[in-house]
A and B are shown apart, each in its own frame.
Chain A
């Protein structure tokens, strides 16, 4: 079925003639979308003198890394960058395992309880955690989760799990059930069936999940700013905000910090893009 659909899609391609007007219009749109990105990078290489004396659109005269060095020092990046990597990596790893097994159990076990579980998790998508920031903050200090590494990781997992389960459940229909049944006849336990048969087939879904969760957690501001106030535990996004709030005109440093903070996620996206697009196609359509 899937192969057939793909075939049709490929057959369809030559029939579609590229309209040059559409091509030109979309080029303009793409350039407009890229323009702020250009502005960020351009600013990040400017010297203070160039910032004050020249047009914001003028290119910097030399490839100067001063702002990057300043951003690294000001944001204490050997601490904040590592913190952000650790929180994101561990949370996403836990989410990948947890959402996969939860969604699979929900999709395969037809009992009423599992249907209830699905609805229960979905409530979390309709209520984004930002709306619940106040009680999440209150429960955080009641359970002594604030200002700890495991506390914020726990919260990232809790706030990400709904979307993950939703995404993975919509994927499970693409995993052929016959394979699992034959594994079970061979005497595989439920766990073994999942990890050796199902998981390898979930690559696009996992790539989608990893990217979606990674950029949410990496970019999170509200939760990180409420949960972590000690300097050694701060995240990159929270410390960048200190460059914004100061009414300083020193925004070349801020722009360099932005480039540094966006790069890891951009690289992750580029490297998983192939699977991610596939994942979106299956996941979004099944809904």
Chain B
């Protein structure tokens, strides 16, 4: 009986396992294999070069620039998005009227393709927002995509406009499951609003914080679509991300071996960062 059920459960899992293996795991192992060759993507033979590609990566200025841009973009996003999302969630949960309307207004941008978001903000910065200067006679520089100093800021604005509402919804869900009597008890003990936030709300939100931090980080490390339609990696190479650089190297430059080494590096980074984050954040969850 038990064996029969096990076999039936197995038939439910197998199709998904096969599809996932062919679609994700096989490509992953393939890229490890290609990364030690100098394959050009077309020829039959794939000359073995050992770890040469990885050694070259650390001397490749273009790759290192892309690496640092991606890191800066990710750190910026993780901080801004988490803080804003939590702040807005707490504000919406504080019993304001018409909560649903605010929730929808903030959430809708994440339903739009990142490609479109990039284009819309390109037009916002170049055509729409400068009108504010005309109306109020101010001299704010809105051409954020125009110089390499401000392009990161501009992209962070566009990306946060798109995603804050999504993470806010997860925080909001977490907040609504915090039992009210915990707050009451803290109040009786004489804790003020700020103390209650940091000692009651934040610890109770720990699982949501884990999801949001890991989600925002992995989401930012993979940035590509947003850049294609807004900055095209520029000005110069100031906003070229790791995936963008991989695309240029492999698809345009036909260096599939070298591009694969970039892919493997990014994958290792993703796994390392996620493991570090989950480990340190889960510890906090247990403590409470």
| Residues of chain A contacted by B30 (CB below 8 angstroms) | 135, 138-139
**Residue B161 at the chain A interface, CB threshold 8 Å:** yes
A278 to B31, CA, bound (A): 40
From known contacts A17-B95, A19-B96, A36-B120, infer whether A285 and B243 are also in contact, taking CB-CB under 8 Å.
no
Across the interface, do A280 and B173 meet the contact criterion of CB distance under 8 Å? yes
From known contacts A132-B267, A277-B169, infer whether A13 and B116 are also in contact, taking CB-CB under 8 Å.
no
For the complex formed, measure the closest distance between the CB of B152 and the CB atoms of chain A, giving whole angstroms: 19
Residue in contact with A33 in the complex, picked from B105, B174, B210, CB distance below 8 Å: B105
A222 to B228, CA, bound (A): 10
A23 to B134, CA, bound (A): 30
For the complex formed, measure the closest distance between the CB of B266 and the CB atoms of chain A, giving whole angstroms: 5
From known contacts A36-B120, A237-B115, infer whether A190 and B88 are also in contact, taking CB-CB under 8 Å.
no
**Residue A258 at the chain B interface, CB threshold 8 Å:** yes
- Enumerate A112-167 residues with CB–CB distance to B below 8 Å: 113-114, 117, 120-121, 123-139, 143, 154-155, 157-159, 161-162, 165
Across the interface, do A131 and B106 meet the contact criterion of CB distance under 8 Å? no
Q: Which residue of B lies closest to A111 (CB)?
A: B6
What count of chain A residues pass the 8 Å CB interface test? 101
| Residues of chain A contacted by B111 (CB below 8 angstroms) | 215, 219, 262, 265-266, 269
**Residue B123 at the chain A interface, CB threshold 8 Å:** yes
Interface-central residue, A106, A114, A126, A277, by most chain B CB under 10 Å: A126
Across the interface, do A98 and B96 meet the contact criterion of CB distance under 8 Å? no
A38 to B260, CA, bound (A): 42
Across the interface, do B94 and A8 meet the contact criterion of CB distance under 8 Å? no
Residue in contact with B259 in the complex, picked from A108, A134, A136, CB distance below 8 Å: A134
| Residues of chain B contacted by A128 (CB below 8 angstroms) | 218-219, 221-222, 270
Across the interface, do A102 and B210 meet the contact criterion of CB distance under 8 Å? no
From known contacts A117-B17, A161-B19, infer whether A124 and B116 are also in contact, taking CB-CB under 8 Å.
no
B interface majority secondary structure: helix
| Residues of chain B contacted by A15 (CB below 8 angstroms) | 180
From known contacts A120-B17, A240-B115, A254-B119, infer whether A36 and B24 are also in contact, taking CB-CB under 8 Å.
no
From known contacts A36-B161, A114-B13, A131-B266, infer whether A159 and B24 are also in contact, taking CB-CB under 8 Å.
yes
From known contacts A102-B12, A219-B114, A241-B229, infer whether A287 and B128 are also in contact, taking CB-CB under 8 Å.
no
Q: Which residue of A lies closest to B158 (CB)?
A: A36
Across the interface, do B263 and A134 meet the contact criterion of CB distance under 8 Å? yes
| Residues of chain A contacted by B119 (CB below 8 angstroms) | 244, 254, 258
| Residues of chain A contacted by B9 (CB below 8 angstroms) | 105, 108-109, 114, 190
Residue in contact with A261 in the complex, picked from B28, B116, B228, CB distance below 8 Å: B116
Give 8 new A-B contacts, CB below 8 A, not counting A131-B266, A136-B27, A158-B20.
Answer: A16-B95, A30-B101, A117-B17, A124-B20, A126-B270, A135-B30, A284-B173, A287-B211
A selection of 27 A-B contacts at a CB cut-off of 8 Å is: A8-B180, A15-B180, A30-B105, A33-B161, A36-B161, A105-B9, A109-B6, A127-B24, A127-B28, A127-B218, A131-B266, A134-B246, A135-B30, A135-B31, A157-B23, A162-B24, A189-B8, A215-B110, A221-B113, A221-B225, A221-B228, A241-B229, A254-B119, A258-B116, A265-B111, A281-B176, A284-B208
Give me the 6 closest cross-chain CB pairs, A-B, nearest first: A158-B23, A16-B95, A135-B27, A219-B113, A190-B8, A12-B180
